[in-house]
Protein backbone atom coordinates (compact mmCIF):
# COMPACT_ATOMS: atom_id res chain seq x y z
CA UNK A 1 0.00 0.00 0.00
CA UNK A 2 2.73 2.43 0.97
CA UNK A 3 4.89 1.44 -1.97
CA UNK A 4 2.08 2.07 -4.43
CA UNK A 5 1.46 5.46 -2.86
CA UNK A 6 5.11 6.42 -3.28
CA UNK A 7 5.02 5.31 -6.89
CA UNK A 8 1.97 7.51 -7.53
CA UNK A 9 3.62 10.47 -5.83
CA UNK A 10 6.65 10.04 -8.04
CA UNK A 11 4.39 10.34 -11.09
CA UNK A 12 2.84 13.65 -10.00
CA UNK A 13 5.44 15.99 -11.63
CA UNK A 14 4.72 14.50 -15.02
CA UNK A 15 1.05 15.57 -14.85
CA UNK A 16 2.07 19.18 -14.19
CA UNK A 17 4.13 19.43 -17.40
CA UNK A 18 2.29 19.51 -20.79
CA UNK A 19 3.59 17.26 -23.51
CA UNK A 20 5.09 18.59 -26.73
CA UNK A 21 1.98 17.57 -28.71
CA UNK A 22 -0.41 19.69 -26.58
CA UNK A 23 1.54 22.91 -26.88
CA UNK A 24 0.08 25.53 -29.10
CA UNK A 25 1.94 26.57 -32.25
CA UNK A 26 4.01 29.62 -31.90
CA UNK A 27 3.82 29.59 -28.17
CA UNK A 28 7.01 29.25 -26.13
CA UNK A 29 7.40 26.12 -24.02
CA UNK A 30 6.29 26.46 -20.51
CA UNK A 31 8.69 25.29 -17.71
CA UNK A 32 7.37 23.12 -14.83
CA UNK A 33 8.28 25.79 -12.36
CA UNK A 34 6.30 28.47 -14.12
CA UNK A 35 3.27 26.26 -14.71
CA UNK A 36 2.68 25.47 -10.99
CA UNK A 37 5.01 27.30 -8.62
CA UNK A 38 3.87 25.48 -5.41
CA UNK A 39 3.62 21.92 -6.74
CA UNK A 40 7.37 21.05 -6.59
CA UNK A 41 8.07 21.64 -2.86
CA UNK A 42 4.79 20.09 -1.74
CA UNK A 43 5.39 16.93 -3.65
CA UNK A 44 8.96 16.61 -2.29
CA UNK A 45 7.77 16.93 1.30
CA UNK A 46 5.10 14.29 0.75
CA UNK A 47 7.66 11.87 -0.68
CA UNK A 48 10.08 12.42 2.21
CA UNK A 49 7.29 11.92 4.74
CA UNK A 50 6.26 8.68 3.06
CA UNK A 51 9.87 7.43 3.08
CA UNK A 52 10.20 8.30 6.78
CA UNK A 53 7.02 6.39 7.57
CA UNK A 54 8.24 3.34 5.72
CA UNK A 55 11.63 3.45 7.49
CA UNK A 56 9.94 3.75 10.85
CA UNK A 57 7.72 0.77 10.13
CA UNK A 58 10.74 -1.26 8.96
CA UNK A 59 12.64 -0.42 12.15
CA UNK A 60 9.67 -1.39 14.30
CA UNK A 61 9.31 -4.67 12.48
CA UNK A 62 13.09 -5.32 12.78
CA UNK A 63 13.03 -4.62 16.52
CA UNK A 64 10.06 -6.92 17.02
CA UNK A 65 11.80 -9.67 15.04
CA UNK A 66 15.06 -9.21 16.98
CA UNK A 67 13.23 -9.41 20.31
CA UNK A 68 11.49 -12.56 19.14
CA UNK A 69 14.84 -14.13 18.12
CA UNK A 70 16.45 -13.17 21.46
CA UNK A 71 13.55 -14.63 23.40
CA UNK A 72 13.79 -17.87 21.45
CA UNK A 73 17.57 -18.02 22.01
CA UNK A 74 17.16 -17.42 25.73
CA UNK A 75 14.54 -20.13 25.91
CA UNK A 76 16.81 -22.54 24.01
CA UNK A 77 19.75 -21.63 26.23
CA UNK A 78 17.70 -22.22 29.36
CA UNK A 79 16.57 -25.62 28.06
CA UNK A 80 20.14 -26.46 27.06
CA UNK A 81 21.53 -25.38 30.43
CA UNK A 82 19.08 -27.53 32.31
CA UNK A 83 20.14 -30.62 30.36
CA UNK A 84 23.76 -29.67 29.74
CA UNK A 85 26.46 -32.33 29.94
CA UNK A 86 29.41 -30.26 28.68
CA UNK A 87 30.53 -26.69 29.30
CA UNK A 88 33.37 -25.10 27.37
CA UNK A 89 36.00 -23.28 29.41
CA UNK A 90 36.59 -19.59 28.89
CA UNK A 91 40.35 -19.62 28.23
CA UNK A 92 40.73 -16.10 29.64
CA UNK A 93 38.61 -16.26 32.80
CA UNK A 94 38.41 -19.97 33.64
CA UNK A 95 41.96 -21.23 33.03
CA UNK A 96 45.12 -20.15 34.87
CA UNK A 97 48.16 -21.94 33.46
CA UNK A 98 51.93 -22.20 34.02
CA UNK A 99 51.83 -21.85 37.81
CA UNK A 100 55.14 -23.09 39.26
CA UNK A 101 55.96 -24.08 42.83
CA UNK A 102 58.67 -26.10 44.56
CA UNK A 103 57.35 -29.12 46.47
CA UNK A 104 59.39 -31.10 49.00
CA UNK A 105 58.62 -34.42 50.67
CA UNK A 106 60.31 -37.08 52.75
CA UNK A 107 62.76 -38.96 50.58
CA UNK A 108 62.31 -42.40 52.08
CA UNK A 109 59.52 -44.91 51.44
CA UNK A 110 56.03 -43.76 52.46
CA UNK A 111 57.36 -40.16 52.27
CA UNK A 112 59.18 -40.64 55.57
CA UNK A 113 61.78 -37.98 56.31
CA UNK A 114 63.84 -40.07 58.76
CA UNK A 115 65.41 -43.49 58.25
CA UNK A 116 66.55 -45.40 61.36
CA UNK A 117 66.59 -49.02 60.16
CA UNK A 118 68.97 -50.36 57.52
CA UNK A 119 69.08 -53.74 55.79
CA UNK A 120 71.09 -55.35 53.03
CA UNK A 121 69.78 -58.18 50.88
CA UNK A 122 71.10 -61.38 49.37
CA UNK A 123 69.81 -60.63 45.86
CA UNK A 124 73.06 -58.95 44.85
CA UNK A 125 75.72 -61.19 43.40
CA UNK A 126 79.19 -61.43 44.89
CA UNK A 127 80.55 -59.48 41.94
CA UNK A 128 78.02 -56.67 42.45
CA UNK A 129 78.83 -56.45 46.15
CA UNK A 130 82.45 -55.77 45.31
CA UNK A 131 81.30 -52.50 43.71
CA UNK A 132 78.35 -51.36 45.82
CA UNK A 133 75.68 -52.45 48.30
CA UNK A 134 71.97 -51.61 48.19
CA UNK A 135 70.39 -50.50 51.47
CA UNK A 136 66.71 -51.17 52.32
CA UNK A 137 64.44 -49.68 54.98
CA UNK A 138 63.00 -53.11 55.89
CA UNK A 139 64.16 -56.69 55.78
CA UNK A 140 64.09 -57.63 52.10
CA UNK A 141 61.66 -60.47 52.85
CA UNK A 142 59.15 -58.06 54.44
CA UNK A 143 56.25 -56.57 52.53
CA UNK A 144 56.96 -53.02 51.41
CA UNK A 145 60.73 -53.41 51.54
CA UNK A 146 62.37 -51.15 48.96
CA UNK A 147 65.89 -50.02 48.09
CA UNK A 148 66.55 -46.52 49.43
CA UNK A 149 70.13 -45.82 48.41
CA UNK A 150 73.40 -47.52 47.48
CA UNK A 151 76.83 -47.26 49.10
CA UNK A 152 80.15 -47.54 47.27
CA UNK A 153 83.84 -46.94 47.81
CA UNK A 154 86.20 -45.45 45.25
CA UNK A 155 89.95 -44.93 45.06
CA UNK A 156 91.70 -43.01 42.30
CA UNK A 157 94.52 -45.60 42.08
CA UNK A 158 92.37 -48.67 42.62
CA UNK A 159 93.49 -49.38 46.17
CA UNK A 160 91.26 -51.20 48.64
CA UNK A 161 89.85 -53.73 46.18
CA UNK A 162 91.08 -56.73 44.25
CA UNK A 163 91.44 -56.44 40.49
CA UNK A 164 91.01 -60.22 40.19
CA UNK A 165 93.72 -60.45 37.57
CA UNK A 166 92.43 -57.49 35.56
CA UNK A 167 95.22 -54.93 35.45
CA UNK A 168 94.10 -51.42 36.46
CA UNK A 169 90.47 -52.56 36.60
CA UNK A 170 89.71 -52.90 40.29
CA UNK A 171 86.19 -52.03 41.56
CA UNK A 172 87.42 -49.07 43.63
CA UNK A 173 89.12 -47.52 40.61
CA UNK A 174 86.05 -48.06 38.46
CA UNK A 175 83.84 -46.38 41.10
CA UNK A 176 86.15 -43.38 41.44
CA UNK A 177 86.36 -42.98 37.66
CA UNK A 178 82.61 -43.30 37.22
CA UNK A 179 81.76 -40.55 39.69
CA UNK A 180 84.64 -38.37 38.49
CA UNK A 181 83.18 -38.41 34.98
CA UNK A 182 79.65 -37.84 36.29
CA UNK A 183 80.33 -35.02 38.75
CA UNK A 184 83.62 -33.26 37.99
CA UNK A 185 84.52 -30.84 35.22
CA UNK A 186 86.45 -32.42 32.32
CA UNK A 187 89.85 -31.15 33.46
CA UNK A 188 89.45 -32.30 37.08
CA UNK A 189 90.99 -35.63 38.01
CA UNK A 190 90.40 -35.55 41.79
CA UNK A 191 87.59 -34.68 44.17
CA UNK A 192 88.57 -31.63 46.20
CA UNK A 193 87.13 -30.94 49.65
CA UNK A 194 87.99 -28.20 52.13
CA UNK A 195 91.16 -30.09 53.01
CA UNK A 196 92.35 -30.48 49.42
CA UNK A 197 92.32 -33.33 46.90
CA UNK A 198 91.43 -36.81 48.03
CA UNK A 199 92.01 -40.18 46.36
CA UNK A 200 89.71 -42.03 48.77
CA UNK A 201 85.95 -41.44 48.63
CA UNK A 202 82.81 -43.01 50.05
CA UNK A 203 79.65 -42.56 47.98
CA UNK A 204 75.97 -42.36 48.97
CA UNK A 205 73.83 -42.59 45.82
CA UNK A 206 70.08 -42.13 46.44
CA UNK A 207 67.59 -44.25 44.55
CA UNK A 208 66.43 -42.22 41.56
CA UNK A 209 62.75 -43.04 42.00
CA UNK A 210 62.87 -41.70 45.55
CA UNK A 211 64.85 -38.61 44.58
CA UNK A 212 62.31 -37.20 42.08
CA UNK A 213 64.11 -34.12 40.67
CA UNK A 214 66.81 -33.51 43.26
CA UNK A 215 67.92 -33.83 46.86
CA UNK A 216 66.62 -30.87 48.83
CA UNK A 217 69.66 -28.81 49.94
CA UNK A 218 69.65 -27.91 53.61
CA UNK A 219 67.26 -30.75 54.42
CA UNK A 220 69.50 -33.77 54.83
CA UNK A 221 71.45 -34.94 57.87
CA UNK A 222 73.75 -37.97 57.93
CA UNK A 223 74.39 -39.65 61.31
CA UNK A 224 77.62 -41.66 61.45
CA UNK A 225 78.71 -43.81 64.41
CA UNK A 226 82.41 -43.79 65.24
CA UNK A 227 83.55 -47.37 64.48
CA UNK A 228 85.39 -49.54 67.01
CA UNK A 229 88.84 -50.80 66.05
CA UNK A 230 87.94 -54.24 67.37
CA UNK A 231 84.99 -54.68 64.99
CA UNK A 232 85.09 -56.52 61.69
CA UNK A 233 84.62 -53.33 59.73
CA UNK A 234 84.41 -54.96 56.30
CA UNK A 235 81.79 -57.53 57.36
CA UNK A 236 78.86 -57.81 54.97
CA UNK A 237 76.32 -58.75 57.63
CA UNK A 238 75.17 -57.16 60.87
CA UNK A 239 77.85 -55.91 63.20
CA UNK A 240 77.57 -55.39 66.96
CA UNK A 241 77.99 -51.71 67.80
CA UNK A 242 79.60 -50.75 71.06
CA UNK A 243 80.46 -47.13 70.33
CA UNK A 244 78.51 -44.14 71.62
CA UNK A 245 79.89 -41.25 69.54
CA UNK A 246 77.76 -40.13 66.62
CA UNK A 247 78.75 -37.40 64.20
CA UNK A 248 76.08 -35.68 62.12
CA UNK A 249 76.83 -34.12 58.75
CA UNK A 250 74.88 -31.55 56.70
CA UNK A 251 75.56 -29.32 53.71
CA UNK A 252 76.59 -25.68 54.00
CA UNK A 253 73.76 -24.29 51.84
CA UNK A 254 72.52 -22.21 54.79
CA UNK A 255 75.74 -20.21 54.81
CA UNK A 256 77.32 -20.49 51.35
CA UNK A 257 75.99 -20.19 47.84
CA UNK A 258 76.27 -23.24 45.63
CA UNK A 259 79.22 -23.75 43.33
CA UNK A 260 77.93 -24.22 39.79
CA UNK A 261 79.77 -26.75 37.65
CA UNK A 262 79.10 -28.99 34.69
CA UNK A 263 77.13 -31.30 36.97
CA UNK A 264 74.94 -28.54 38.39
CA UNK A 265 74.97 -27.21 41.94
CA UNK A 266 77.52 -28.37 44.51
CA UNK A 267 77.73 -27.75 48.27
CA UNK A 268 80.26 -28.71 50.90
CA UNK A 269 79.38 -31.36 53.47
CA UNK A 270 80.32 -30.19 56.96
CA UNK A 271 79.74 -31.24 60.54
CA UNK A 272 76.48 -29.88 61.93
CA UNK A 273 72.77 -30.59 62.25
CA UNK A 274 69.55 -29.33 60.67
CA UNK A 275 68.32 -27.98 64.02
CA UNK A 276 71.51 -26.24 65.11
CA UNK A 277 73.20 -25.46 61.79
CA UNK A 278 76.89 -25.71 61.02
CA UNK A 279 79.20 -26.55 63.91
CA UNK A 280 81.69 -23.72 64.29
CA UNK A 281 80.48 -21.83 61.19
CA UNK A 282 83.49 -19.52 61.13
CA UNK A 283 85.81 -22.51 60.67
CA UNK A 284 83.75 -25.53 59.60
CA UNK A 285 85.12 -29.04 59.35
CA UNK A 286 84.72 -30.31 55.79
CA UNK A 287 83.81 -33.95 55.17
CA UNK A 288 82.88 -34.05 51.51
CA UNK A 289 80.74 -32.73 48.68
CA UNK A 290 76.98 -32.79 47.96
CA UNK A 291 75.57 -32.86 44.44
CA UNK A 292 71.80 -32.41 44.95
CA UNK A 293 70.91 -32.40 41.23
CA UNK A 294 72.34 -35.93 40.93
CA UNK A 295 71.36 -37.15 44.40
CA UNK A 296 74.96 -38.09 45.22
CA UNK A 297 76.98 -37.43 48.38
CA UNK A 298 80.78 -37.82 48.26
CA UNK A 299 82.54 -38.29 51.61
CA UNK A 300 86.28 -37.89 52.08
CA UNK A 301 87.68 -41.26 53.16
CA UNK A 302 90.71 -39.64 54.81
CA UNK A 303 88.44 -37.49 56.99
CA UNK A 304 86.32 -40.48 58.03
CA UNK A 305 89.47 -42.40 58.93
CA UNK A 306 90.78 -39.54 61.07
CA UNK A 307 87.56 -38.67 62.93
CA UNK A 308 85.39 -41.79 62.91
CA UNK A 309 87.85 -44.70 62.94
CA UNK A 310 86.91 -46.10 59.54
CA UNK A 311 90.38 -47.57 59.01
CA UNK A 312 89.84 -47.65 55.26
CA UNK A 313 91.73 -50.47 53.56
CA UNK A 314 93.97 -48.88 50.94
CA UNK A 315 96.12 -51.91 50.29
CA UNK A 316 97.06 -52.76 46.72
CA UNK A 317 94.87 -55.50 45.20
CA UNK A 318 93.31 -56.08 48.62
CA UNK A 319 89.59 -56.86 48.91
CA UNK A 320 88.63 -54.32 51.54
CA UNK A 321 84.83 -54.12 51.16
CA UNK A 322 85.25 -50.58 52.43
CA UNK A 323 81.70 -49.50 51.56
CA UNK A 324 80.45 -51.77 54.37
CA UNK A 325 82.30 -49.56 56.85
CA UNK A 326 79.99 -46.73 55.85
CA UNK A 327 76.99 -49.06 56.12
CA UNK A 328 77.93 -50.05 59.70
CA UNK A 329 78.47 -46.39 60.66
CA UNK A 330 74.98 -45.55 59.39
CA UNK A 331 73.13 -48.58 60.80
CA UNK A 332 74.97 -48.28 64.11
CA UNK A 333 73.75 -44.71 64.62
CA UNK A 334 70.15 -45.99 64.50
CA UNK A 335 70.68 -47.80 67.82
CA UNK A 336 71.45 -44.62 69.77
CA UNK A 337 69.40 -41.68 71.00
CA UNK A 338 70.26 -38.12 70.06
CA UNK A 339 70.52 -36.23 73.39
CA UNK A 340 69.57 -32.91 71.77
CA UNK A 341 66.25 -34.23 70.43
CA UNK A 342 65.61 -37.31 72.62
CA UNK A 343 64.89 -39.22 69.39
CA UNK A 344 66.81 -42.05 67.78
CA UNK A 345 69.45 -40.86 65.36
CA UNK A 346 67.99 -41.02 61.88
CA UNK A 347 69.23 -40.38 58.37
CA UNK A 348 67.16 -37.30 57.50
CA UNK A 349 66.54 -36.43 53.87
CA UNK A 350 63.93 -34.79 51.67
CA UNK A 351 63.50 -34.63 47.93
CA UNK A 352 62.53 -31.55 45.94
CA UNK A 353 60.79 -30.94 42.63
CA UNK A 354 59.35 -28.02 40.74
CA UNK A 355 55.72 -28.66 39.86
CA UNK A 356 53.97 -26.79 37.04
CA UNK A 357 50.21 -26.52 37.50
CA UNK A 358 47.19 -25.44 35.49
CA UNK A 359 44.06 -24.41 37.41
CA UNK A 360 40.64 -24.96 35.82
CA UNK A 361 37.74 -23.10 37.45
CA UNK A 362 34.54 -25.04 36.89
CA UNK A 363 31.66 -22.59 37.33
CA UNK A 364 28.22 -24.20 37.64
CA UNK A 365 25.24 -21.82 37.54
CA UNK A 366 22.03 -22.47 39.43
CA UNK A 367 20.11 -23.70 36.36
CA UNK A 368 22.86 -26.08 35.21
CA UNK A 369 23.60 -29.73 35.97
CA UNK A 370 20.56 -30.30 38.18
CA UNK A 371 19.67 -33.64 36.62
CA UNK A 372 21.38 -36.99 36.52
CA UNK A 373 21.60 -39.78 33.95
CA UNK A 374 22.00 -42.33 36.71
CA UNK A 375 19.33 -45.03 36.22
CA UNK A 376 18.29 -44.72 39.86
CA UNK A 377 17.33 -41.08 39.28
CA UNK A 378 14.15 -42.00 37.39
CA UNK A 379 11.54 -44.74 37.52
CA UNK A 380 8.68 -46.07 35.40
CA UNK A 381 8.26 -46.36 31.66
CA UNK A 382 7.93 -42.60 31.11
CA UNK A 383 10.98 -41.64 33.14
CA UNK A 384 9.37 -40.07 36.19
CA UNK A 385 11.50 -38.89 39.10
CA UNK A 386 12.16 -41.66 41.58
CA UNK A 387 11.79 -39.04 44.32
CA UNK A 388 8.54 -37.10 44.06
CA UNK A 389 10.11 -34.18 45.92
CA UNK A 390 12.36 -33.63 42.87
CA UNK A 391 9.40 -32.47 40.77
CA UNK A 392 10.02 -28.75 40.23
CA UNK A 393 13.07 -28.90 42.51
CA UNK A 394 15.53 -31.58 41.34
CA UNK A 395 18.73 -32.21 43.29
CA UNK A 396 21.97 -34.00 42.48
CA UNK A 397 25.33 -34.57 44.18
CA UNK A 398 28.46 -33.78 42.16
CA UNK A 399 31.27 -36.26 42.79
CA UNK A 400 33.44 -36.07 39.66
CA UNK A 401 34.63 -33.51 37.12
CA UNK A 402 35.83 -34.70 33.71
CA UNK A 403 38.13 -32.67 31.47
CA UNK A 404 37.55 -33.20 27.74
CA UNK A 405 39.16 -31.97 24.53
CA UNK A 406 37.26 -30.28 21.70
CA UNK A 407 36.34 -33.71 20.32
CA UNK A 408 34.73 -34.54 23.67
CA UNK A 409 37.34 -37.18 24.44
CA UNK A 410 37.94 -37.63 28.17
CA UNK A 411 41.49 -36.60 29.11
CA UNK A 412 41.48 -36.33 32.91
CA UNK A 413 39.20 -36.97 35.86
CA UNK A 414 39.08 -35.03 39.13
CA UNK A 415 37.38 -36.49 42.20
CA UNK A 416 35.84 -34.32 44.91
CA UNK A 417 36.71 -35.11 48.51
CA UNK A 418 33.00 -35.39 49.28
CA UNK A 419 29.76 -35.16 47.24
CA UNK A 420 28.63 -31.57 46.53
CA UNK A 421 24.88 -30.79 46.62
CA UNK A 422 23.57 -29.01 43.51
CA UNK A 423 20.04 -27.64 42.87
CA UNK A 424 18.27 -24.65 41.29
CA UNK A 425 18.95 -22.67 44.46
CA UNK A 426 22.65 -23.58 44.72
CA UNK A 427 25.62 -22.71 42.54
CA UNK A 428 29.09 -24.23 42.67
CA UNK A 429 32.68 -23.23 41.90
CA UNK A 430 35.12 -26.13 41.70
CA UNK A 431 38.86 -25.60 41.14
CA UNK A 432 40.61 -28.44 39.35
CA UNK A 433 44.40 -28.42 39.69
CA UNK A 434 46.34 -30.33 37.05
CA UNK A 435 50.01 -30.91 37.93
CA UNK A 436 52.65 -31.97 35.45
Angle between helices 301-308 and 323-333 (to 10 degrees): 50
Domain-ending residue, one of 348, 378, 400 = 348
Instruction: Let me know whether 127 and 146 are in one domain.
Output: yes
Burial 329-351 (b: 16+ CB within 10 A, else e): bbbbbbbbebeeeeeebbbbbbb
Instruction: Let me know whether 173 and 195 are in one domain.
Output: yes
For the chain, percent helix, then strand, then coil, each to nearest 5?
25, 30, 40
Does residue 204 lie in a domain region?
yes
Instruction: Let me know whether 175 and 280 are in one domain.
Output: yes
Q: What is the pLDDT of residues 355-371, one digit of tens each?
A: 999 999 999 988 888 88
Ramachandran angles phi, psi of 383, nearest 5°? 75, 45
DSSP 257: P
Does residue 35 lie in a domain region?
no
Residues 249/329, Cβ–Cβ less than 8 Å: no
Residues 216/350, Cβ–Cβ less than 8 Å: yes
DSSP 169: -
Instruction: Let me know whether 161 and 66 are in one domain.
Output: no
Task: Categorize the per-residue pLDDT at 19 as very low, low, confident or very high, splitting at 50, 70 and 90.
Answer: very low
- Supply the pLDDT for residue 165: 64
Whether this prediction's pTM lies above 0.75 is answered by no
Does residue 34 lie in a domain region?
no
CA–CA dist 422, 312 (Å, integer) = 70
Instruction: Let me know whether 74 and 121 are in one domain.
Output: no
Instruction: Let me know whether 276 and 422 are in one domain.
Output: no
Instruction: Let me know whether 220 and 314 are in one domain.
Output: yes
Instruction: Let me know whether 135 and 252 are in one domain.
Output: yes
Domain-ending residue, one of 348, 373, 394 = 348
Q: What is the pLDDT of residues 185-224, one digit of tens each?
A: 999 999 999 889 999 999 999 999 999 899 999 999 999 9
Radius of gyration of the chain (CA): 44
Does residue 24 lie in a domain region?
no
Q: List CB contacts of 83: < 8 A, sequence separation 6 or more.
A: 371
Instruction: Let me know whether 78 and 88 are in one domain.
Output: no
Instruction: Let me know whether 121 and 257 are in one domain.
Output: yes
Domain-ending residue, one of 348, 367, 387 = 348
Q: Report the domain count for the chain.
A: 3
Average pLDDT taken over every residue of the chain = 85
Does residue 30 lie in a domain region?
no
Residue 69's CB is within 10 A of a number of other CB atoms, namely 10
CA–CA dist 187, 178 (Å, integer) = 15
Structural domain for 159, as ranges? 108-348
Does residue 26 lie in a domain region?
no
Task: Categorize the per-residue pLDDT at 107 as very low, low, confident or very high, splitting at 50, 70 and 90.
Answer: very high
Instruction: Let me know whether 95 and 67 are in one domain.
Output: no
CA–CA dist 137, 116 (Å, integer) = 8
Amino acid sequence: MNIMMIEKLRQLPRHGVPSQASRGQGMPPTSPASSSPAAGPAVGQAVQQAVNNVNQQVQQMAQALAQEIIAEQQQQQQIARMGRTFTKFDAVNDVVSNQKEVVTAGLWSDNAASLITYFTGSAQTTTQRRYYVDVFQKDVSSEGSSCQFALAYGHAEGSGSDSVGQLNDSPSKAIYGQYRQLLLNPNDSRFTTGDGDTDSIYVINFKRSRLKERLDPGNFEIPLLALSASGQLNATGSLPHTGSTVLTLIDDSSATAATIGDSGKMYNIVSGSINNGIHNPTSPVYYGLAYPDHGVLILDGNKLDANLGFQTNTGSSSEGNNHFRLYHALSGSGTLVNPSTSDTYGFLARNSEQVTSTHYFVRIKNAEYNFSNNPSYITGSVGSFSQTSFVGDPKVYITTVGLYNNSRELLAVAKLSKPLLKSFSREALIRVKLDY
